[in-house]
Amino acid sequence: MAAPRRAQIELRDVDVVYVKGVRKIYALRGVNLEVYPGEFVLLLGPTGSGKTTMLNVIAGIERPTRGVVLVEGRNLADLSQEELAEWRRRKIGIIFQFFNLLPHLTALENVMIPLLVDKSISMAMIRKKASELLDRLGLEDKKDRFPRELSGGEQQRVAIARALITEPTILLADEPVAHLDQAAARVVLDIFREVNRAGKTVILATTHEGLLRELRDVVTKVVRLEHGQVKEVRQRRVR
């Protein structure tokens, strides 16, 4: 008899509460979610519905006010900030909505950053991997440009390359194609497909309902959020 599948990511009764004066604002409220290895999950909901907060909780960037977050069997509450940072560097690729590129570094250097602390990889290999990723994302001639010299869409693609360079187990993407034109968005979505089909777990947060149609061949689960609460979880296929 086969052993039961174990969730790779599990949120149990998670609240994230911000206090402003005497007011309590719930960014997440009573969230329960299970994501299994190799799934492609789409978080849908309007701006302010809690999608970004959910990604931050899964990544250990933000600690919940209440509840439990388990990732690959580890309770993130048990990890120190230093342990979380190292775990995140090795396991999680994060594509932030607002890029978070370092302005004094070139596109190539920004992509290289996550691997620079890994002494087992030579500088030449890190540079090669970063260069190849930028090539795949159509930025062959922009590697030596600084963020201020790039368009919003180009900066987003640099951020995507940076998230992928460590070959993470889990890829978290917050509005990853919001600043891209149609051709660039297609390239990025194809890379997400490729990453997912190679066995990586992808969680993509967006306000754009059309992405469900664009990614219908790979999306396994659709989670709809409103006002910090999960309103619907729809399993499309099991992996």
Residues forming beta bridges with residue 185, ordered by sequence position: none
Distance, CA of 29 to CA of 64 (rounded, Å) = 10
Contacts for 102 with CB less than 8 Å, ≥ 6 apart:
109, 110, 113, 147
| Residue 12, domain member (yes or no) | no
Place of tokens 């701006």: 47
Distance, CA of 173 to CA of 6 (rounded, Å) = 23
> Closest by alpha carbon to 89, among 170, 11, 147?
170
| Residue 17, domain member (yes or no) | no
- How do the pLDDT tens digits run along the chain, 239 residues long? 455 678 999 999 999 999 888 889 999 999 999 999 999 999 999 999 999 999 999 999 999 999 999 999 899 999 999 999 889 988 999 988 888 899 999 999 999 999 998 888 999 999 999 999 999 888 999 999 999 999 888 998 899 899 999 999 999 999 988 878 888 888 889 889 998 999 999 999 998 888 888 898 999 999 999 999 999 999 886 55
Contacts for 21 with CB less than 8 Å, ≥ 6 apart:
none
| Residue 90, domain member (yes or no) | yes
Q: What is the pLDDT of residue 3?
A: 55
Reported as type and span, the H/E element at residue 111 is helix 107-112
| Residue 136, domain member (yes or no) | yes
| Structural domain count, the chain | 1
Q: Determine the structural domain holding residue 109 and report its residue range.
A: 36-63+80-235
| Residue 1, domain member (yes or no) | no
Burial of 131 (0-12, 13-18, 19+ CB in 10 A): middle
Task: Report the SS3 class of residue 103.
Answer: coil
| Residue 94, domain member (yes or no) | yes
Q: Looking at residue 172, which CATH number applies to its domain?
A: 3.40.50.300
